[in-house]
Chain A
Amino acid sequence: MRTTRRAFAISLCVAAAFLAASCNNDYAVYQNVAKEQKQNGQAIFQETICKNAFRLNSDYYAATSKLYCSPIHLSTDTTANDIAWTLVPINCLGNLSSSYTLRAAVVVGGTIYALTGNDSSSVALSSSTDGSTWTSITTPSPPRQLSSNLASNIPSSFAFDALYSAGGHLYAEANLYDTSSGGAVGTPYYYLYFYTGTGWEQVSNFQNINNSPIRGVVANSDTSPTNFYFASEGQLYSGSLMDGSNASSIINNFSSLSTHEIWAISYTGGHFYVSTPDGNLYQDSGNPYQVDSASRPLTKVISVPYSSPSSIILVGTDTNNVNTAACGYYEGTFGSLALGSSSQDISSSAVYSTTVSVFPVQNFFYDGSASSGNLFVCIAPGYLSTSYYGLYEVSWNGTSWSNGWEAQ
């Protein structure tokens, strides 16, 4: 009997702790309910991951498993939901087609590069300067230095996995799996290439990344860059040349970064940022470089206009095995970031709660200046509800942000 009572008491304590932990004193349930807005996005973005968004000429482009485009529009435009995002046919494996799977798409200068495939072994890279006419680009052969180590079934051309746009240049990540030593998966090898306009070259001096996935390439300017940053999961290099020939490791510039996994890198608002899956955000300012800690894995960083201060940063969050809680983004200034449900939301808290707050942020894209612009957030909305979309927009008019994220 005593044991039973003790078990009952322990159960009550556990239940009480669980209930207390689930209570958010700073969250207004009914105020947020009252502020909710119905989202009228398009079916193409329902429950669909949007990887990134960008602008070419007078159109916005969004990359899901397809590439879509839409004329430039404000989120506050009353006809915004009537402006259809239309599927962009791409020259995939020799034919202009809509039945492709988009692996990646970026814009570099005035050119879109799209990596497409119709199955895992057939991948094509195409470019377009207007979104309608596409030109195929040959991908490089496997690197010579590894050919003797790899199995005999090396493909004749590389299968790119990701594209990066940095400093007005196109970069591509490729990998091969060496199964010659046994095992179903084999040993992965990762490579970072840059496009010369006519061919591909490996980024040199970006060393010791053979078994470390590439996390990104960024530069401090799109038009006249003086610094390029190359990141893999465990390495961080920087140099002034786009080919990486004078790049050197800077991972020790960031306090304790060398002991953490790199999740994403960003250059925005005049600062270089490194985010990690354990919730640290490093900024290249101060001595030593500063770190801000969050409770969630962090992804991309973007600096956007604001009333006071004149700019703030948004930091996307992700989920992992440790933290499977709601995602969303942090907002504020470096060192005083707050999760999006705070009062300093870029859009009203309720709309944030019913759009971006629950899901991992894949990317941000801001098109505009300090006086006006449109901000897109690309998320992975999962399949919980058709009310969630992969792409949302909010607009800036020079003094304030439009009231709430609008599903696209």
Chain B
Amino acid sequence: MKPFGAAAIAVALLFMPITALSGEDQQASKAAPPAEAPAETVPSDAQASPFLPGEQTIGLSVGLQIPAFAYFPTYATYNNLSNLYLGGSFSFSYQYFIERGLAIGGTIAGSFNNTIGGNSIFTAPLGFTTSYWWSAMPLEFSVLAEAGGYLSRYAGDGMLGLFAKAGGGAYWRIAPSWSVGLQAYFWFVPELHTDPYTSLDALAGYVETSLGAVYHL
């Protein structure tokens, strides 16, 4: 319900490679004199990174957050969350390839939806991800699953809970280091309460459709 430890590790994971990369870059720049850089071109299928172990990516996204449903187990009823307007989402992610095409990492994200009553609900999940990537240059594809926790605020009240996300994306390799594309994910946001408030439990779902940019380190 309150994955503080997980949150700490995820934050550390998110920023550790950036620091490591920065160090590597500095060493590389010291070791080799500056040379005339070749003109950058989008690699062909054969030249493209086949997402080998050790490679890393950083992803950014911004998009729409579509309320899908809420299920109330105590009453066995569904609600289509029509009281929530179409909202927005954003995310920052890091992935590290442990096998060819298979990456693990972490994502920190946020979403907000206004309500018909003038409130807004903000959800900020933080989770570990596992994803599989493949390419058909200049296109790249991924499927991803995420598990973690979230913090939400609504009408001045807060909630912590578990979180899961699944989906994928299709990207266009516009430069050797950059890909941009479209993503679609389903967010599973359970709102679980402990005794004596278990009757307040709810299972909510959203669909995120977003524009994503991936930087290949």
Contacts and interface: CB of A to CB of B under 8 A. Distances in A.
Interface of A: 12, 15-16, 19-20, 22-39, 325-326, 341, 350-351, 353-355, 357-358, 385-388
A100 to B, nearest CB: 30
B112 to A, nearest CB: 13
Contacts of A26: 193, 197, 200
A393 B71 CA distance: 31
Contact of B152 (A29, A32, A37): A29
Contacts of B118: 39, 354, 385-388
A25 B191 CA distance: 10
Interface in B84-125: 84, 115-119, 121
B200 A23 contact: no
Interface in B153-206: 153-160, 191, 193-194, 197, 200, 202, 204
Given A28-B202, A29-B152, A353-B157, 17 more contacts: A19-B151, A22-B153, A23-B2, A24-B157, A24-B158, A26-B197, A27-B159, A29-B157, A31-B72, A31-B200, A31-B202, A34-B79, A35-B83, A37-B116, A38-B116, A38-B117, A357-B156
> Which residue, of A20, A30, A34, has the highest number of chain B Cβ atoms within 10 A?
A30
Contacts of B70: 30, 33-34
A23 B160 contact: yes
Nearest to A33: B83
28 contacts: A20-B2, A20-B160, A22-B153, A22-B158, A23-B159, A23-B160, A24-B158, A24-B159, A26-B193, A26-B197, A28-B197, A28-B200, A31-B202, A32-B154, A33-B81, A34-B70, A34-B72, A34-B83, A36-B119, A39-B117, A39-B118, A326-B155, A351-B117, A354-B117, A357-B156, A385-B118, A386-B118, A388-B118
Interface of B: 2, 4, 7-8, 70, 72, 79, 81, 83-84, 115-119, 121, 151-160, 191, 193-194, 197, 200, 202, 204
Contacts of A36: 83, 115-117, 119
A36 to B, nearest CB: 4
Contacts of A388: 118
A19 B202 contact: no
B172 to A, nearest CB: 37
Contact of A19 (B4, B84, B117): B4
Contact of A33 (B154, B156, B160, B193): B154
B201 to A, nearest CB: 8
Contacts of A37: 116-117
B21 to A, nearest CB: 20
Given A36-B83, A38-B117, A354-B118, A28 B191 contact: yes
B117 A27 contact: no
A326 B119 contact: no
A183 B195 CA distance: 59
A34 B2 contact: no
> Which residue, of B72, B83, B117, B118, has the highest number of chain A Cβ atoms within 10 A?
B117
Nearest to A358: B156
B194 A25 contact: yes
Contacts of B157: 24, 27, 29, 341, 353
Contacts of B81: 30, 33-34
B24 to A, nearest CB: 21
Contacts of A23: 2, 158-160
B83 A25 contact: no
Contacts of A351: 117
B121 to A, nearest CB: 7
Contacts, number: 107
A350 B117 CA distance: 9
Contacts of A15: 4, 7
B191 A30 contact: yes
B14 to A, nearest CB: 14
A408 to B, nearest CB: 15
B159 A354 contact: no
Q: Enumerate the 7 nearest inter-chain pairs by beta-carbon distance, A residue then B residue, closest first.
A: A387-B118, A354-B117, A22-B158, A28-B200, A30-B202, A36-B117, A326-B156
A341 B202 CA distance: 18
A322 B193 CA distance: 30
B121 A354 contact: no
Contacts of A386: 118
A387 B72 CA distance: 27
Contacts of A39: 117-118
B115 A33 contact: yes
Contacts of A12: 4, 8
Contact of A29 (B8, B79, B191): B191
A24 B116 CA distance: 22
Contacts of A19: 2, 4, 151, 158, 160
Nearest to B8: A12
Contacts of B191: 28-30
A377 to B, nearest CB: 16
A59 to B, nearest CB: 28
A164 to B, nearest CB: 33
Contact of B193 (A25, A32, A34, A341): A25
A22 B159 CA distance: 7
B188 to A, nearest CB: 13
> Which residue, of A23, A26, A341, has the highest number of chain B Cβ atoms within 10 A?
A23
Given A16-B4, A26-B200, A33 B121 contact: yes
A4 to B, nearest CB: 12
Given A28-B191, A29-B202, A357 B4 contact: no
Given A23-B159, A24-B157, A30 B4 contact: no
B4 A32 contact: no
